[in-house]
A and B are shown apart, each in its own frame.
Chain A
Amino acid sequence: MKQIEFKNVTKTYNPAKGRYGLLTQALGGNLNRIIGRKLKEERIVALKNVSFSVERGETLGIIGKNGAGKSTILKLISKITYPDGGEIEARGRIGAFIELGAGLHPELSGRENIFLYGAILGMKKKEIEKKFDEIVDFAEIKRFLDIPIKKYSSGMYSRLGFSVCAFCDPDILLVDEVLAVGDINFQEKCLSKMLSFTKEKSIIFVSHNLEAIKSICSKVIYLEKGKIKKIGSPDVVIKDYLKEATEEQI
């Protein structure tokens, strides 16, 4: 069964909007349109005609340079942002661990944050209560449960975030390069947790850690400038990626 499917997905961003969000400018823009003057609008292309699918139980790795569009794919799947063209389908509950500290509030305690983040991920209070001890154990934050997490280290932040995501029982788990802040032991723990998912869940894993990708992914996409450069088994794709990276350096 296909859990995630991308069909010719294109996503562009307007770099000006929002950064210069002034009322006067918007009115000016409308005025220009009325008198027929066309303003040049350059849009940044984040993804162009991207198609792929992820089966149930499959783990997909995404590699590529900074700005290649890796995170955009995750954001599109989790419906944080929407595509300009093409179709996206994602079935089931999504656990997205995309950015460090997303969904956590610095002024609240670790305990309160577990409930806050759990609710954001769509868990019911009872479910969270049931999983609470497991989450705390996995995150190794028992001693700090009742202090505001603004006092936490970034490693603790990431442990807390990943644990809630992993235990919210998602059908699709999205993990971005956020594990990097945890220490080696925790990274190992997360990878083996993800590996234990691979039977019945789908995972998309974005990382620059090629070893980690190799160890858990069954398929890898190599993205370049918003296009799929190569898709296939981890060994082959990673080899290509490394070859091109070294060629560029020379």
Chain B
Amino acid sequence: MKKWFLELWKFRELLWVFTLKEIKIRYKQTILGVAWAILQPAALTIIFTVIFGLFLKVHSENIPYPIFAYSALLPWTFFSTAVSFGALSVVNNSGLVTKIYFPKEVLPLSAIGAAFFDFLMASLIFILMMFIYKIPITLNILFVFILIPATLLFAIGISFFLSAINVLFRDIRFVVPLVLQVWLYLTPVIYSFGQIPEKYRVLISLNPLVGLIQGFRDVTVLGKMPDLNLTVFSLVVSLAVFFLGYWFFKSKESIFADVI
């Protein structure tokens, strides 16, 4: 595995150039351009606020529902964009895979890099909302420097698995949107973790995104410590998924060009 990391390091400039390419071409020939990065979570926030905040009166831990929803939609949108683009990245670049040699993990990594750029753009709105709603900021916010990298690793690991499987079986293209839709409801985005009936909590916590996304909301808008059990669990799972995914991807890499 050390060999893989060393080679990847050698190709770091390629990774950078590819990520820039992904960002550039994503918004080429669109009128709104990068604004799409912000519109996606923003539109969902508005819909959720109307339906769950206004109509269904979902309890939002004593903060206004829009920022309650956005604080979770921000990391969630990053995760779902990263996985949807990451899963298709190898097949979408089949022209490169069959014609040029380079470590292929650059493809999912650059797709996720581009999604991370979107995340940073959408974060600007988040910071603005924090000001508008006068959310007090505490030192707990520093936990984002653990939570975000963990989310990143988790998304990369999943994308390694999916993008490699997608080379063999294109079913993945249809599976990913479906699974992501279900996953959104199994993660405390619309509701908060505290609203889950106690007997289901352990079961729901097996989803590593629970710790990551509820944690992100806790440390930013709620200004409290994240649930440490959940955080540690998510961190361990993320690391495991990352390394297993990387191993899986590399073990399948040599046949990509032949079967794609």
Contacts and interface: CB of A to CB of B under 8 A. Distances in A.
Report the 6 A-B pairs with minimum CB-CB distance, sorted nearest first.
A102-B99, A18-B259, A119-B17, A79-B101, A119-B14, A81-B257
B24 A102 contact: no
Contact of A80 (B28, B29, B99): B99
A13 B98 CA distance: 14
B181 interface: no
Interface residues of B, number: 31
A21 B168 contact: yes
Nearest to B93: A105
A116 B101 contact: no
A49 interface: no
A17 B259 contact: yes
A18 B260 contact: yes
Given A13-B258, A80-B257, A122-B11, A105 B100 contact: no
B21 A108 contact: yes
A103 B100 contact: yes
Interface in B71-105: 95-102
B198 interface: no
Nearest to A124: B13
Interface residues of A, number: 33
B2 to A, nearest CB: 20
Interface of A: 13-14, 17-18, 21-23, 26, 75, 78-82, 94, 96, 98-99, 101-103, 105, 107-108, 112, 115-116, 119-120, 122, 124-125, 148
Interface string B238-260: 00000000000000001101111
A194 to B, nearest CB: 20
Interface in B151-172: 167-171
A122 B7 CA distance: 11
Contacts of A81: 254, 257-258
Given A14-B258, A120-B96, A122-B11, 16 more contacts: A17-B168, A18-B259, A22-B169, A26-B169, A79-B101, A80-B98, A81-B257, A81-B258, A99-B99, A103-B96, A116-B21, A119-B13, A119-B18, A120-B100, A120-B102, A125-B13
17 contacts: A13-B258, A17-B168, A23-B171, A26-B169, A75-B98, A82-B255, A96-B99, A96-B100, A98-B99, A99-B99, A103-B96, A103-B100, A107-B25, A119-B18, A120-B100, A122-B102, A125-B13
